[in-house]
Amino acid sequence: MKPGHGEVLIAEGDVEVAEEEELLVEEFRRQLDQGMWAAVPERTTAGRREARMVKAFDEIPRDADRVIFFPRAAGGS
Amino acid sequence: MLLAVIAIGVVIVALLWDLVLPSLKEKVERYRARRAIIPGTSYDPGRERRAEQRARQLLKSCVNDEEWAMYRDLGFIRVWGAMARAPRRGRIGDDPRAGAPYAYLVYPHKPIVAYLPQTRELLNEYCVEFPDETRPYGSARLPDSDDVLAKWMALTGDERRLIATANMHLPGRQVDPKQVRRDLWRLGQWESERMRRTPRSPGEVTAP
């Protein structure tokens, strides 16, 4: 998510392909280093949609189809 | 004689030069400033509209069907609170409301409002922002639907962390309580109408 852009594709790849997974890990780290939060939208067994906040690449479910990065929260006035 | 006239002329020119030069310089600078090309960080309504459209699509693809319809029709999303106890109201210690089901109203670029659905009592306002300090177009502000999605993800993904990050205030600091009560009434009407029209689907979110 970016001001003036909305959704921006940062990287894509298949985690089953080693090179692509490496690229995804690198990009994931870069985003977190920039201070972004990462979330994986998912559906619970009850059919309810919610997000899973992830802090490490290992925490992303292998079958996740996307990770959304957004600026970290800050207390507003 | 000629030499004296020339000398007087030079003195006059020198004096006039001192008087005229500053205003001349200023005029040249103003002209240059008017003609200068400023990098395009100005507000572009078309760009913002396109960004908002993309953000709406992303929001729609993430939230439950009911939540999306709620946002589309009413302009906010209700997110059920998942913590074991309802957030405390201010500094009240033994609050009988603790443990009651509670929910949040998520508005774009406004504080998150916590309330008790059973009584429609407003509990707190949580002021939170998601500023993008890279400011790609001069603004740190996400499109409206991205702001709602960020709040939704943070609330459903890690409610405790978001609430701990936010600045908590009593209701009415930024969001007019009358407006919130109107919105809750609208939400009730909207839900009644929706329940009448459509059978329950797996995508609907029910109170815990």
The ipTM of this complex is 0.93
Residues of chain B positioned with their CB less than 8 A from the CB of A77 = 127, 167
Asked if A16 reaches chain B (Cβ–Cβ under 8 Å), the answer is: no
Give dist(CA B117, CA A31) in Å, integer.
Answer: 37
User: What is the distance between the alpha carbons of residues B20 and B15, in angstroms, rounded to a whole number?
Assistant: 9
Cβ atoms of B150 and A2 closer than 8 Å: no
Q: What is the pLDDT of residue A77?
A: 72
Whether the CB-CB separation of B208 and B82 falls below 8 Å is answered with: yes
Q: How many CB pairs under 8 A join A and B?
A: 131
Show the tokens assigned to B37: 């090309």
pLDDT digits 0-9 by tens, B171-194: 999 999 999 999 999 999 999 999
SS3 B136: coil
Nearest to B146 among A6, A46, A75 (CB): A6
Which residue has better confidence, B206 or B190? B190
pLDDT at residue B85 in the model:
55
Q: Which residue has the tokens 């405390």?
A: B88
8 Å CB contact of A71 and B130: yes
Q: Which residue of B has its CA nearest to A49?
A: B64
pLDDT at A68 over 90: yes
| Residue B202 binned pLDDT confidence (cut-offs 50, 70, 90) | low
Q: What gap in Å lies between CA B205 and CA B160, rounded to an integer?
A: 20
Q: How far apart are the first and last CA of chain A?
A: 22
How much is the average pLDDT of B33-38? 76
